Amino acid sequence: MTEFTIYHNPRCSKSRQTLALLREQGVEPRIVEYLQAPPTAAELKAILTKLGLKPEQVVRKGEEVFKRKYAGTALTDAQWIKAMTTDPVLIERPIVVAGRRAVLGRPPENVQLLLVR
């Protein structure tokens, strides 16, 4: 069986809903509270590859740190990855990884895509 990992923020309702949906389906994922244990640049790059997204596409642009430090700036992919590892609150949540695939749990029902074989 494929191991599931959720990059989770327990204070986020969508993250909690996504975790609950996984558990309702009988999946007990490895939980990474990414604000306390941010992914490394290499891990984030691998997650983005599985998502099929560019770094800027998973940046939370409503966060105060984004507005203060990054709004209006054009960054390279490597610079966005560095920004997200430096300020992990910028990483969209939740992200669920299963094997070679991953989805953003926005909406939480997106996780169903990983449950279908």
- Active-site residue (options: 3, 5, 11, 12): 12
To the nearest whole percent, how much of the chain has pLDDT over 90? 96
**pLDDT tens digits along 36-56:** 999 999 999 999 999 999 999
To the nearest whole percent, how much of the chain has pLDDT over 70? 98
Predicted confidence (pLDDT) at residue 75 exceeds the cutoff of 70: yes
pLDDT value for 1: 67
CATH number at residue 19: 3.40.30.10
Q: Extract long-range pairs of 54-62: CB within 8 Å, 24+ residues apart.
A: 54/80, 55/80, 55/81, 55/84, 56/80, 58/84, 58/91, 58/92, 58/95, 58/104, 59/83, 59/84, 59/90, 59/91, 59/92, 60/89, 60/90, 60/91, 60/92, 60/93
Structural domain for 29, as ranges: 4-115
Specify whether 12 is catalytic. yes
The domain tally of the chain equals 1
